[in-house]
Chain A
């Protein structure tokens, strides 16, 4: 038996009524992983012994109604620090790195009583859209192993979609939660920048990175989000705001809600017809339930891909400077002096994509290019953000595709990411929240997702809209067959 169709809420009820124990759920997770992970490669590291020990302690303690996350297995993306448990960011550079403290979100999961079963695979240092650039091999899409699970949180998406675990944490810098969720028929939330602490997240792009849930249903995303939000003094970007009760707000409906469609994305030949049909259907469902649809304009959206490209490289350079082979991580054996130690450790320890971004980033931030490239991009970023804020004065939520196509095949990599960056990275550039929800299937039976974008700290409205669509459709009830033999 897998966790497919077992929501966090279902599992919570079963745990409270003692139909199952946390140890049984944890053993089940490792059993499904054992059967399916040779094919999927969703995990870099498993945490079996500690997980079973913790589950036994939780069972001994007992689980009260309302302790929603307690005793339930969860997976954590391997760029989020876990004390005493290998954390690699899927890089050779950190192949032996054992953190000496927990990320704040991990502390929170532990305090809530969740059982961390392991660390999921990603594109090296979260730089990619396929989870194919991992030093530990690619993760495969449970819907079709010839296709990517998306990236960079591909391991977190594959493990939930295949029913290995019921929920996972990912990180999203330019779409890295929402793309994989869309590619695997899951719900993924990129929260407002600063809502969830990034303390202990291995930085890719500090001004864009966020941590968020990947789950099977909108309700589960609300529950997991509730478990990880909150102000954190250890993250200076953390927002000190009152946290709403996400679960109780879910079923308020969408009557009276104004939904924005983006003028600049209409009749766009770079959005596949399957995806466009899913967006159109979502709008129809929302209208049937009393929402009204209004066209809005994001005139600078077409520059989002370029802005992201420049800022992403610049910030990558800065984030990656710490990996020098001295105090932690990979150290070369080939060196005669300090310069060689630095250069050879970094050149041998970092993959091609990461190196390329670092070097490109130096170019955009040094000399004259700092002005012509980096600052220019940062200025257009302001305009993209202003476009969103203006549009969100007219509408409550904006609906777009979560990705321009269904999951692509490993042998047909998506080289032009401009449209996908416009769809998702633009939201990171603006610091806003966005939710990806299952919305249909392609002719090849691959899942397709839509994205809801909202005002800062208005996750509630996104979850309400997502929930309304989910309850009126049955896409989320479909699961891939590669599931460990139900």
Chain B
């Protein structure tokens, strides 16, 4: 795999998938980061892992559930403390529908 593995357009598309906007210059820098990842993987491919189970967690603790009992939450005042824009007790966000009829 080489630098051309992933095009600048693809870099920009991936960035937008994670809601980050890139200029052309930035996309070129980020492209290098990705080819570096390809180089990492090229080296890792020296290792035969056909029979190896992947490790995704820091230890073997299994998923745990808390008991399903109602309890006090932090309250709306606390939850609204860090909201950047609020309007009449709601979090303000841009309109996401045109007129309620199409594309909603």
Question: Which residues of A approach B to under 8 Å, CB–CB?
Answer: 96-98, 100-101, 192-194, 206-209, 233, 236-239, 300, 303, 305-307, 309-310, 313, 317, 320-321, 324-331, 335-344, 346-347, 350, 355-356, 358-364, 366, 372-373, 375-383, 385, 428-429, 431, 456
Contacts and interface: CB of A to CB of B under 8 A. Distances in A.
Given A372-B41, A378-B55, A428-B58, 7 more contacts: A303-B47, A310-B44, A346-B20, A380-B52, A381-B55, A383-B49, A431-B59
Contact of B14 (A207, A208, A325, A359): A359
Contacts of A306: 40-41, 43-44
Nearest to B80: A327
B2 interface: no
B35 to A, nearest CB: 10
How would you classify the secondary structure of chain B's contact residues: helix, strand, loop or mixed? loop
Given A208-B58, A236-B61, A326-B91, A373 B37 contact: yes
B87 interface: no
Given A336-B94, A338-B96, A383-B52, A300 B61 contact: no
A359 B33 contact: yes
A207 B57 contact: yes
A330 B94 contact: no
Given A237-B59, A324-B19, A378 B54 contact: yes
Contacts of B93: 326, 338, 341
B14 A362 contact: yes
Given A194-B59, A360-B37, A376-B41, A342 B19 contact: yes
Interface of B: 6, 11, 14-22, 29-30, 33-34, 36-37, 40-41, 43-45, 47, 49, 52-59, 61, 63-64, 66, 74, 78-79, 81-85, 91, 93-96
A97 B84 CA distance: 10
Given A237-B57, A338-B96, A346 B19 contact: yes
26 contacts: A96-B82, A100-B74, A100-B82, A206-B58, A207-B56, A208-B58, A237-B61, A306-B43, A307-B40, A309-B36, A310-B41, A321-B18, A328-B82, A328-B83, A329-B84, A331-B85, A338-B96, A359-B11, A359-B14, A359-B33, A360-B33, A366-B17, A378-B56, A381-B54, A382-B55, A456-B59
Contacts of B53: 379, 382
B18 A309 contact: no
A305 B79 CA distance: 40
**4 tightest A-B contacts by CB?**
A378-B54, A328-B82, A193-B58, A331-B84
A239 B62 CA distance: 11
Tell me the dominant secondary structure on chain A's binding face.
helix
A303 B15 contact: no
A359 B41 CA distance: 17
B84 to A, nearest CB: 4
B20 A343 contact: yes
B68 to A, nearest CB: 14
A385 B17 contact: no
B15 A359 contact: yes
A422 to B, nearest CB: 12
Given A346-B20, A363-B6, A376-B45, A97 B82 contact: yes
A146 B29 CA distance: 27
A366 B96 contact: no
Contacts of B40: 305-307, 309-310, 373, 377
Given A100-B81, A359-B15, A382-B55, A347 B20 contact: yes
Contacts of A101: 74
Nearest to A375: B54
Contacts of B43: 303, 306
Given A96-B82, A360-B30, A239 B20 contact: no
Given A355-B20, A373-B41, A376-B45, A327 B82 contact: yes
Contacts of B16: 343
A174 B47 CA distance: 22
Contacts of A320: 18
B20 A100 contact: no
A366 B15 CA distance: 12
Contacts of B82: 96-98, 100, 327-329
Contacts of A317: 18
Contact of A356 (B33, B79, B96): B33
A206 B59 CA distance: 11
A466 B93 CA distance: 54
B81 A98 contact: yes
A325 B84 contact: yes
A365 B81 CA distance: 34
Contacts of B44: 303, 306-307, 310, 376-377, 380
Contacts of B83: 327-328
A347 B21 contact: yes
